[in-house]
Amino acid sequence: MSAYSFALLGIGLIIEQCLIGHSLLNRRVGIFLLLLISLAFMYWLPMYLGLPLSSKGFAMRMLPNWI
Counting the structural domains of the chain, the total is 1
Structural domain for 41, as ranges:
2-66
Residue 39 has pLDDT above 80, yes or no: yes
Measuring CA to CA, which residue among 42, 47, 41 is closest to residue 62? 47
Residue 66 has pLDDT above 80, yes or no: no
Residue 41 has pLDDT above 90, yes or no: yes
d(CA 24, CA 39): 22
Among 4-8, 15-19, 62-66, the range scoring the smallest mean pLDDT is 62-66
